Amino acid sequence: MTGGTDRADPLDARHAEFIQGPVSVIIASRNAELVADAVRGCGCRVSRDRRQVTVLVEAGRAVTLLEDVATNGMIAAVFSQPSTHQTIQLKGSDARVVRVTAADRVAVRQHLRAWSGDLERIGFDVRFAAALHGGTGELAAIRFTPAAAFQQTPGPAAGQPLKP
Amino acid sequence: MPLSIPTLRRCFEGAIPATIATCSQDGTPNVSYISEVHYVDRQHVALSFQFFSKTRPNVLENPRATVVVIHPDTGAQYKLAVRYLRTEDSGPLFECMKAKLAGLASHAGMTGVFKLRGSDVYRVESVTEVHGTPLAAPPPPEVDVTTLRACMARLSAAGDLASLLDALLDVLADPIGIEHAMVLMHDPAADRLYTVASRGYAQSGVGAEVRPGEGIIGAAAQARIPIRISHATSEFGYGRAMREAAERRGITGLEHEIPFPGLPESQSQIAVPILAGDRLLGVLFAESAAPGRFGYDEEDGFMVLASHVGAVAALLEEEPAAPARDEAHAGRAVAAPQGAPLRVRRYAENDSVFVDEEYLIKGVAGAILWRLLRAHAEDGRSDHTNRELRLDPSIRLPDLSENLEARLILLARRLEERCPSLRIEKTGRGRFRFHVLRPVTLAEIPR
Q: Which residue has the higher pLDDT, B275 or B7?
A: B275
Of B37, B41, B43, the residue nearest B20 (C-alpha): B37
Of B194, B218, B221, the residue nearest B410 (C-alpha): B194
Give A98-153 pLDDT, tens digit per residue. 999 999 999 999 999 999 999 998 888 899 999 999 888 999 999 999 999 998 88
Give B350-390 pLDDT, tens digit per residue. 889 999 989 999 988 999 999 999 999 999 999 999 888 88
Which of B 67-126 lie inside 8 A of A, CB atoms?
A: 68, 70, 74-77, 79, 81, 108, 110, 113-114
Q: Are residues B168 and B303 in the same domain?
A: yes
Strand partners, A41: A25
pTM: 0.81
Q: Looking at B96, B129, B162, which one is the last position of a domain?
A: B129
Q: Say which CATH number the domain at B391 has.
A: 1.10.10
Q: Are residues B302 and B160 in the same domain?
A: yes
Alpha-carbon distance of B143 to B269, in angstroms, equals 17
How close does chain A come to B202, measured CA to CA in Å? Answer: 32
Q: Are residues B356 and B272 in the same domain?
A: no
Q: Looking at B317, B345, B379, which one is the last position of a domain?
A: B317
Interface contact flag, B135 A127, Cβ < 8 Å: yes
Give B24-72 pLDDT, tens digit per residue. 999 999 999 998 899 999 999 999 998 878 999 999 999 999 999 999 8
Interface contact flag, B21 A76, Cβ < 8 Å: yes
Q: Are residues B383 and B426 in the same domain?
A: yes
**B247 part of a folded domain:** yes
Cis (ω within 30 of 0) for the bond into B29? no
Amino acid, single-letter form, for residue B182: M
CA–CA–CA angle B166, B171, B172 (5° rounding): 100
Give B71-87 pLDDT, tens digit per residue. 988 999 999 999 999 99
Q: Are residues B214 and B304 in the same domain?
A: yes
**B134 part of a folded domain:** no
Interface contact flag, B23 A30, Cβ < 8 Å: yes
User: How many domains are contained in chain B?
Assistant: 3
**B270 part of a folded domain:** yes
**ipTM > 0.90, yes or no:** yes
Buried b (16+ CB within 10 A) or exposed e, B15-33: bbbbbbbbbbeeebbbbbb
**B65 part of a folded domain:** yes
Of A75, A63, A68, A92, the residue nearest A27 (C-alpha): A75
**B222 part of a folded domain:** yes
- Label residue B239 exposed, middle or buried (CB < 10 Å: 0-12, 13-18, 19+): middle
**B1 part of a folded domain:** no
Q: Looking at B283, B317, B351, which one is the last position of a domain?
A: B317
How close does chain A come to B79, measured CA to CA in Å? Answer: 9
How close does chain A come to B112, measured CA to CA in Å? Answer: 9
Q: Give whole-number Cα distances, B418 to B258, B357, B410, B435, in Å.
A: 12, 12, 12, 15
Q: Are residues B156 and B291 in the same domain?
A: yes
Q: Are residues B303 and B161 in the same domain?
A: yes
Residue B326 has pLDDT above 70, yes or no: no
Q: How confident is the model at residue B238 (pLDDT cuts 50, 70, 90)?
A: very low
Q: Are residues B171 and B313 in the same domain?
A: yes
Q: Give whole-number Cα distances, B63 to A50, B118, B121, B212, in Å.
A: 35, 16, 11, 36
Interface contact flag, B75 A35, Cβ < 8 Å: no
- Domains identified in chain A and CATH numbers: 13-151 (2.30.110.10)
**B240 part of a folded domain:** yes
Q: Are residues B275 and B353 in the same domain?
A: no
Residue B250 has pLDDT above 60, yes or no: no
Q: Say which CATH number the domain at B184 has.
A: 3.30.450.40
- CB count within 10 Å of CB B224 equals 16
Residue B251 has φ and ψ, to the nearest 5°, of -75, 115
Of B33, B168, B318, the residue nearest A155 (C-alpha): B33
Q: Are residues B115 and B16 in the same domain?
A: yes
**B328 part of a folded domain:** no
Q: Say which CATH number the domain at B76 has.
A: 2.30.110.10
Domain extent, residue B205, equals 145-317
How close does chain A come to B59, measured CA to CA in Å? Answer: 11
Alpha-carbon distance of B53 to A49, in angstroms, equals 30
Q: Are residues B164 and B58 in the same domain?
A: no
Interface contact flag, A39 B130, Cβ < 8 Å: yes
Torsion of CA B238, B244, B245, B248, to 10 degrees: 180
Is B227 within 8 Å of B96 (Cβ atoms)? yes
Alpha-carbon distance of A77 to A95, in angstroms, equals 11
Q: Give whole-number Cα distances, B199 to B282, B424, B426, in Å.
A: 16, 21, 22
